[in-house]
Structures are given as C-alpha cells and as structure tokens.
C-alpha cells in the first residue's frame, strides 16, 4: 500500500502559497485570514481523503476517519501556523503526511481498526500571543488561567482573534477530549536540526522531547555618564549580562557528545543610549535537555554563575521562571513499531531526541506518543531556507502510514483486553 508521493508534493506546493514570502518563505500567523484560507484548502483535502471535517472552538482543524470499532482513537497531526519569517515544512509536514496516510488507506479500501483523527492544531508556534501549543493543550485540558486575555502586538486578545476566526471562546471547555478518548498520538515533523543529515539518514525515530526551562533574568546596576565614571566604579548591568551569557555557553558545553542546549535569544537594555552606562538589562534564558538530572544540575550551576557575576559588579538580580517542563519520552512500543516498519524503506533509522517541543508534548501527558523526524537540509528551520526533499518527505509519510495501521490494530487489541470482549463494530 503505497502513498501517492506526487499528490503529497503537490499539496506542499499549493499550501506554501498561503502566506508566501519571497520564493520559499511563509508567514502564516495563527488565527489570521491567511490561516483561515489555508484551513479551507486543507479541509477539502481531508474530505477527499474520506474524513469528516470540523473546526472546534479552540481553532483546531480536525478530520476524522471512522474505524472498524469505536475504541480509543489514534490522533495524528501538527500545525499550519508558521513563524513570522518561516519556511514551508515546519508543522505543515505533519499535517499533510497524516492526511496522505489516511487518503492512502481510503483509496485501498483499508478501514483502520479504531478511528483516526488528523488535527491541524491552533497556535503551536506561540509567537503571536507569546504562548504556544494552544490548540493541543486546549483539547488535552492543559490551558492556564488568563490565556484568552493574552494580546498580540496590535493589542488584539486571543479571545477576540478566536471570535474573528469563527470560534466561540466561551465553549472552549467543551473542546476537551474525555479521558481515554485518545489512545495514541503520532506526529511526523522535520528534524529542524543537523543530525540526520550528518549521519546520511533520511528519517529518524524520536526518543523524546527535551524539557525546557525558560527564564527571564533582570540585572540592575546604576546608570552613569559613559565618559566620566571610572571602570572600577561602574555597576554595568550589560557587562554582567555578557558574562552570564558566556557562563551559560560554558556550562552546556562542559560535557562532550550530549545534546544539552542553552540560548539567550532576547535582550532589552535600559536606558539604551550609547553614552550612558546600562542600568538594567533583561534577557531570556532557554535551557533544554532530555536528561532531567543533568538539566537540573546545569540550572544550579547557572544560578551560581549569576550570583558570582552580580557580586563582582555590585548588581541586583531577579530570575522569573516562565516555563519548566520535564523531558517527555516516546513510548517504547511505538518506537519499536516505527523501527520494524522502517525495514525495507530505509537502511537504518537512527534514534534521536527533539530539542524543540511540538504538539506531541501536550499529548504526552494523556497518552502514549511517537514521532518520526524527516531530514532537514543543513539543519535549518524557522527560516525561509528551511528545506526537506520530496523523497525524504515521501519516505517519512510512507513510514507514518504503515505505523499508523500497526498502532490502530494495537489500540483495538488493548481495548479488547481491557473490556474482556471485542469492541462494538462500527461497520
């Protein structure tokens, strides 16, 4: 049962026109008119694949393929929103691969053992309202207070954006899936890193998603004239920030051959004048690791480094923890299915962690999950130069399709064992 690689390629080309920037880039903000247009065309592809289609009140686009039995479903998908200066494959690959998998089943007259739902989740990227994984966290009951009140750069709240999109934010609670409704989650995604390309492998098996700690760090010193205050009397917050950044880099690179990463990606300086000593600097810290003990050890080392820096320069400091998520590991049985189904498709399928988080992270708290990575050219992502080849995407989609069928059989078997009888047939 082979997927139609040409149809898959055509869908990528067509979808890239919605929010196109330059020759290869995409800007498709969540809950925007351009995403609504993308939803419309993807909805049609879902229907052609044999699915019923709806958009829930959280802004998720959901296609459903009924199964032989009405048991805990298999959910697949990703997202269609992009970064403001993004590429054609991030998120999109997971949605289109899932649709193609279901379309292939339908064309070959294959009915999955349990229902399959394909979801294009709302606001995975998080840049518009500064909080991502909205749609996936919503359906799995993980939203936090105040999320609808978050605003974008134009002052539009998430609540208003949902209304403008045709959703009813007062009904978000009704979007939450009941416990046990989702038996498993599968997601195909581009790697967004260089490991598969370095190893010469088109696809890989994800071992788990790294747990990130996000901080906002504020260092406070004292402003003074840049021309008159001697160097040994300065309380320069920017110098303290610079030393902290260097310390972070040294901490996460102290052990060779591991995938700990640390990043300072945003910084603001006050008063931000060329002839005034910086009085206050605020910057973000992103620390990620698949090993929770090691991440916690590095976090403690970074706190110690900040205390040494502020003591050296007479600064005050504040650390605000914005996110603290533990690593989430893929289910061994799903990884084994992926590994077995990859035989005959590729010569070896390496296992690797995911540094970025995905909608699978939200799913991991309510069901077993698995992920397939597709090779990224030069490891580039969140950039118009992001690229995965048609051949690699087709291979990953074929593997997803075969794995999905194995998973639905396993979900039906488990449901039968739990109830002591075969689930009620749907057909």
In terms of Cα–Cα distance, which of 14, 177, 22, 205 is closest to 92? 14
Could you tell me where the DSSP H helices lie in 116-219? Answer: 134-139, 158-164, 195-199
Q: SS3 of 351, please?
A: strand
Can you read off the two tokens belonging to residue 278?
Answer: 């910086």
Half-sphere exposure of 112 (CA within 13 A, CB side): 32
Give the count of beta carbons closer than 10 Å to the beta carbon of residue 308.
Answer: 14
Could you tell me where the DSSP H helices lie in 314-389? Answer: 332-342, 359-363
Residue 123 known to bind ligand:
no
What's the Cα-to-Cα distance from 210 to each of 138, 237, 322, rounded to whole Å? 21, 31, 16
Percent helix, percent strand, percent coil in the chain, to nearest 5? 40, 25, 40
Dihedral of alpha carbons 128, 34, 167, 118, sign: negative
What's the Cα-to-Cα distance from 382 to each of 50, 90, 299, rounded to whole Å? 32, 7, 26
Residue 358 known to bind ligand:
no
Residue 347 known to bind ligand:
no
In terms of Cα–Cα distance, which of 103, 72, 76, 111 is closest to 91? 76
> Cβ(370)–Cβ(334) under 8 Å?
yes
H/E stretch holding 293 = helix 292-313
Q: SS3 of 128, please?
A: coil
Residue 382 known to bind ligand:
yes
In terms of Cα–Cα distance, which of 145, 171, 149 is closest to 160? 149
Half-sphere exposure of 248 (CA within 13 A, CB side): 22
What are the b/e assignments for 231-260, b being 16+ CB within 10 Å?
A: eeebbbbbbbbbbbbebbeebbeeeeeebb
Residue 189 known to bind ligand:
yes
> Cβ(78)–Cβ(142) under 8 Å?
no
Angle between helices 390-419 and 92-107 (to 10 degrees): 70
Known binding residues: 79, 90, 125, 189, 382
Known binding residues for Zn(2+): 79, 90, 125, 189, 382
């Amino acid at each position: 049962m082979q997927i139609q690689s040409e149809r898959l390629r055509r869908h990528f080309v067509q979808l890239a026109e919605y929010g196109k920037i330059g020759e290869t880039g995409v800007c498709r903000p969540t809950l925007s008119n351009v995403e609504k247009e993308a939803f419309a065309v993807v909805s049609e592809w879902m229907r052609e694949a044999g699915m019923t289609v709806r958009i829930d009140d959280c802004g998720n686009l959901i296609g459903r393929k009924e199964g032989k039995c009405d048991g805990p479903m298999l959910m697949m998908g990703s997202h269609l929103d992009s970064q403001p200066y993004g590429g054609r494959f991030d998120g999109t690959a997971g949605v289109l691969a899932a649709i193609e998998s279901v379309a292939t089943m339908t064309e070959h007259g294959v009915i999955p053992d349990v229902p399959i739902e394909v979801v294009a989740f709302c606001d995975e990227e998080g840049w518009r309202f500064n909080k991502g994984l909205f749609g996936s966290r919503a359906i799995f009951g993980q939203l936090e207070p105040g999320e609808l009140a978050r605003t974008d750069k134009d002052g539009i709240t998430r609540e208003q954006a949902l209304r403008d999109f045709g959703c009813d934010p007062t009904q978000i609670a009704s979007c939450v899936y009941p416990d046990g409704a989702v038996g498993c989650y599968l997601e195909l995604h581009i790697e967004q890193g260089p490991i598969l390309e370095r190893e010469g492998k088109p696809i890989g098996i994800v071992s788990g998603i790294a747990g990130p700690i996000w901080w906002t760090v504020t260092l406070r010193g004292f402003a003074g004239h840049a021309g008159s205050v001697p160097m040994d009397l300065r309380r320069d917050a920017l110098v303290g920030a610079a030393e902290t950044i260097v310390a972070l880099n040294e901490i996460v690179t102290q052990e060779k051959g591991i995938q700990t990463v640390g990043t300072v990606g945003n910084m603001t300086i006050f008063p931000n004048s060329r002839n005034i000593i910086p009085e206050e600097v605020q910057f973000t810290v992103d620390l990620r690791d698949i090993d929770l003990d090691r991440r916690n050890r590095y976090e403690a080392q970074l706190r110690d480094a900040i205390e040494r820096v502020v003591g050296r320069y007479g600064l005050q400091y504040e650390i605000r923890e914005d996110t603290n998520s533990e690593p989430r590991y893929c289910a061994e049985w799903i990884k084994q299915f992926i590994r077995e189904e990859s035989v005959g498709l590729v010569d070896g399928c390496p296992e690797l962690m995911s540094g970025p988080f995905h909608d699978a992270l939200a799913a991991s708290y309510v069901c077993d999950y698995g992920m397939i990575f597709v090779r990224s050219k030069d490891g580039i992502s969140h950039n118009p130069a992001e690229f995965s080849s048609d051949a690699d995407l087709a291979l990953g989609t074929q593997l997803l399709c075969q794995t999905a069928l194995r998973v639905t059989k396993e979900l039906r078997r488990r449901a039968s064992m739990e109830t002591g009888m075969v689930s009620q047939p749907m057909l």
